Chain A
Amino acid sequence: MARTVTLKDIANELGTSIVTVSNALSGKKGVSEAVRTQVIEMARELGYDNAKQNKSPKGKVTIGVIVSEQYIGIGTSFYWTMYQQAVWAASIYKALTTLEIISTDQEKQLEPPRLAADGAIDGLIVIGKLEKIYLECILKVLKVPVVLLDFRCEESGCSSVMSNNYIGMYKMTRYLLKKGHRSIGYVGEVETNENLCDRYFGYRKVMEEWGVPVNQEWVIADPQVVSQKAAISLPKTLPTAFVCCNDYVAGFLYDRLSQMGYRVPEDISMVGYDNYLYGHSLAKKLTTYNVDMKEMAVAAVRMLLKKADGKSDYYNIVYLDSQIVERDSVKSLKE
């Protein structure tokens, strides 16, 4: 059988790039008329079948993705990376994705995402926590299944895929105890963010289990610190190690400790959570818990596609466990 003619064949034949050929054939800009004519003629000559190449997106599932602006405002962010993983995961299942970034105003004024318009999408993934009232407002207008990524809202009845915050931080704190640490502090927030609250209780669990008292002076629970809007005020006497609610906070604490002349891990040890710290020197050094974004994205997409397909209307919350990434921010205190 004759081989199907591809864009590459045409490009080779004419000695131009595939991009040029593609642009020429699809009527896009950036190609001179002369080249365009040339490409089209060559395509005809070789028997290039445009229809065959451009598989119609009809029949493909389209997944809408929404993320709140506040999470992906600046540079490379955790949730932007997670979005990328969702796109990749969707592509594995031959699904298309469409993204909408929800502005703070939009969320406040309860304006549903444009994606929610009739028939535009077959399912929706929400990355990162949205206000419950806004989520409810979306659910009211949206007729397709919704899966929440990295947060949960039981009242909404939407299934979620999350990192196992509680078990993860339990593992991290336990790691410190096994390295001989007994005076262990915690930096993060507790009451305002449920994911971080669960991490705090993972820390509390090990301390309780090992019979090591939690010194409240060493528990720095401040949302302002987590968002790096306020400086960390360190206690007079320092513990031998800090559990940080995420890697960003670990980086922030690291800077503060460095300023004060402390070295990590020689003078003080620390562990983080996420395995996501960009553009900080601590990234290569920090022992942390891996949040497997790839696995989370795949799980969310798979769950959504099943629901969109009508194969599952089962409500559940999946907590994905992962491993400790051992680097060099913890000193062993054992002889």
Chain B
Amino acid sequence: MEKKVTMQMIAQRAGVSVVTVSNVLSGKKGASDQVRNLIFALAEETGYRRSAPKAKDDGQTYRFGVLIAERYVKEYPSFYMHIYKEITQEAAKRGCITILDVIDEACERIADPVYIFPDAEIDGLLIIGEMSSLFVDLVRGNSKVPVVGVDFYDVDKDMDFIIADSFRGMQKVTERLIECGHKDIAFLGTPRATNSIMDRYMGYCKALLLNHIDHTSLICDRSMGEYGSVIEFDLPSELPTAFVCNCERSTALLIEKLKEKGVKIPEDVSIVAFDRFLDEYPDGLKVTTYEIDENVLARISVNTLLKKIRGNGKRFGIRMVDGIIKEGNTVKRRDR
């Protein structure tokens, strides 16, 4: 078989560097006309063919608009700003850039017609974190570009959503408690507050059902305001041996309340939770959690949006991202 003609071969014959050959052939500057002509002549003579660009990367720079509700940005540390950072990094790897718009309450409530990114041409849009359904509809109606939702979902909308696998995550972390001999396990969270909290609650119920534990108990942890929620709850008079916490904010409050009562973690009560964004709680406590890899979430979100922009993504749907259990020191093995 004939050997493939490479730039190296042309460079040798022309007595120039490979870089020069590459520049000339790709139409870039930095070579005299004389050299340029010589290289073209050699390329033709040897039958040099540039390898086809990889199908995956069309080399185009796309601009992604990113929307985050103000209420998520106000929190510190902000989980969604962290996701945004990961998304920006993933986008950069693919030669794309992101433009962030923080949506305030008035805008989300659609007090005025929404003009998202009026001056910037964007090719696609990512919405990070749950926002009002009407707002999402309006944004989708107004912008002609593909929209992908990150970390929330709504089955009534024909669009793509990338979410953490709350259902299975909570199942796994609850099973961890059961393996350690716990049977009296309470779920801390308000299932009907959001889709993902309901999924976490279902995961907890599934773990108990599969392990033949009939006793479920639910402690609602928040009152739903019209805009966001306030975390508040009372400890039950009789404490369970373990808590499964739906989110980090209520985990922090639970630890505080238990501490006030003089209850020791994990000696008296064990705790597992979903998400760990704060690395450490007071007294060196590290909560055992189920966590997703934000980087994977970001990567899949960016890939999905790119596919839609390029017109390759055929269908809409909910994509769940798997995570792992991160061991902490808040679960105590009980004697069976």
Work out how many contacts link A and B, with CB atoms closer than 8 A: 55
B210, A191: Cβ atoms closer than 8 Å: yes
A61 at the interface (CB under 8 A from B): no
Given contacts A191-B209, A197-B210, A209-B192, A164 and B198 within 8 Å (CB-CB): no
B205, A204: Cβ atoms closer than 8 Å: yes
Nearest-neighbour CB distance to chain B for A47, whole angstroms, equals 21
Which residues of chain A come closer than 8 Å to B317, judged between CB atoms? 164, 320-322
How does the 8 Å CB contact mask read for B146-158 relative to A, with 1 for contact and 0 for none? 0000000001000
Q: How far is the CA of A174 from the CA of B155 in the complex (A)?
A: 9
B65 at the interface (CB under 8 A from A): no
Q: How far is the CA of A204 from the CA of B320 in the complex (A)?
A: 19
Q: How far is the CA of A208 from the CA of B192 in the complex (A)?
A: 8
Nearest-neighbour CB distance to chain B for A220, whole angstroms, equals 16
Q: How far is the CA of A140 from the CA of B98 in the complex (A)?
A: 46
Which residues of chain A come closer than 8 Å to B199, judged between CB atoms? 166, 205
Which residues of chain A come closer than 8 Å to B210, judged between CB atoms? 191, 197
Given contacts A174-B155, A209-B192, A164 and B202 within 8 Å (CB-CB): no
Nearest-neighbour CB distance to chain A for B1, whole angstroms, equals 14
| Chain B interface helix/strand/loop/mixed | helix
B198, A208: Cβ atoms closer than 8 Å: yes
Nearest-neighbour CB distance to chain A for B244, whole angstroms, equals 15
Q: How far is the CA of A308 from the CA of B317 in the complex (A)?
A: 28
Q: How far is the CA of A201 from the CA of B209 in the complex (A)?
A: 10
Q: How far is the CA of A319 from the CA of B318 in the complex (A)?
A: 8
Nearest-neighbour CB distance to chain A for B138, whole angstroms, equals 22
How does the 8 Å CB contact mask read for A295-333 relative to B, with 1 for contact and 0 for none? 100000000000000000000111111110000000000
- The count of chain B contact residues (Cβ–Cβ below 8 Å) is 21
Q: How far is the CA of A198 from the CA of B199 in the complex (A)?
A: 11
Most chain A beta-carbon neighbours within 10 Å: one of B191, B205, B206: B206
Which residues of chain A come closer than 8 Å to B322, judged between CB atoms? 316-317
Within B180-201, which residues are at the interface with A (CB < 8 Å)?
Answer: 191-192, 198-199, 201
Most chain B beta-carbon neighbours within 10 Å: one of A166, A208, A209: A166
Interface residues on A, range: 20 to 34
B315 at the interface (CB under 8 A from A): yes
B318, A204: Cβ atoms closer than 8 Å: no
Q: How far is the CA of A318 from the CA of B165 in the complex (A)?
A: 11
Q: How far is the CA of A256 from the CA of B95 in the complex (A)?
A: 59
A171 at the interface (CB under 8 A from B): yes
A321, B319: Cβ atoms closer than 8 Å: yes
Which residues of chain A come closer than 8 Å to B201, judged between CB atoms? 208
Q: Which of B167, B198, B209, B319 contacts A190 (CB 8 A)?
A: B209
B205, A322: Cβ atoms closer than 8 Å: no
Q: How far is the CA of A204 from the CA of B206 in the complex (A)?
A: 10
A170 at the interface (CB under 8 A from B): yes
B191, A208: Cβ atoms closer than 8 Å: yes
Q: How far is the CA of A184 from the CA of B202 in the complex (A)?
A: 18
Q: Which of B191, B206, B296, B315 contacts A322 (CB 8 A)?
A: B315
A167, B318: Cβ atoms closer than 8 Å: yes
Closest to A292 in B: B315
Which residues of chain B come closer than 8 Å to A167, judged between CB atoms? 155, 318, 320
B318, A321: Cβ atoms closer than 8 Å: yes
B206, A201: Cβ atoms closer than 8 Å: yes
Closest to A165 in B: B167
B198, A205: Cβ atoms closer than 8 Å: yes
B205, A201: Cβ atoms closer than 8 Å: yes
Which residues of chain A come closer than 8 Å to B296, judged between CB atoms? 316
Closest to B212 in A: A191
Given contacts A171-B155, A191-B209, A205 and B202 within 8 Å (CB-CB): yes
Nearest-neighbour CB distance to chain A for B210, whole angstroms, equals 6
How does the 8 Å CB contact mask read for B309-320 relative to A, with 1 for contact and 0 for none? 000000101111
Which residues of chain B come closer than 8 Å to A205, judged between CB atoms? 198-199, 202
Nearest-neighbour CB distance to chain A for B146, whole angstroms, equals 17
B319, A319: Cβ atoms closer than 8 Å: yes
How does the 8 Å CB contact mask read for A141-171 relative to B, with 1 for contact and 0 for none? 0000000000000000000000010110011
Most chain B beta-carbon neighbours within 10 Å: one of A201, A209, A320: A201
Nearest-neighbour CB distance to chain B for A128, whole angstroms, equals 20
Q: How far is the CA of A317 from the CA of B320 in the complex (A)?
A: 9
Which residues of chain B come closer than 8 Å to A191, judged between CB atoms? 209-210
B320, A170: Cβ atoms closer than 8 Å: no
- 18 A-B interface contacts by CB (under 8 A): A164-B317, A166-B167, A166-B202, A167-B318, A171-B155, A174-B155, A191-B210, A197-B210, A201-B202, A201-B203, A205-B199, A208-B192, A208-B198, A211-B192, A316-B322, A317-B322, A320-B317, A322-B317
- Listed from nearest, the 8 A-B pairs whose CB atoms lie closest are A321-B317, A321-B318, A201-B202, A205-B202, A319-B320, A317-B322, A201-B206, A167-B318
Chain A residues engaging chain B, CB cutoff 8 angstroms: 164, 166-167, 170-171, 174, 190-191, 197-198, 201, 204-205, 208-209, 211, 292, 295, 316-323
Given A204-B205, A295-B315, 13 extra CB contacts under 8 A = A166-B199, A167-B318, A167-B320, A197-B210, A198-B167, A201-B206, A205-B199, A208-B201, A209-B192, A316-B296, A316-B322, A321-B319, A323-B315
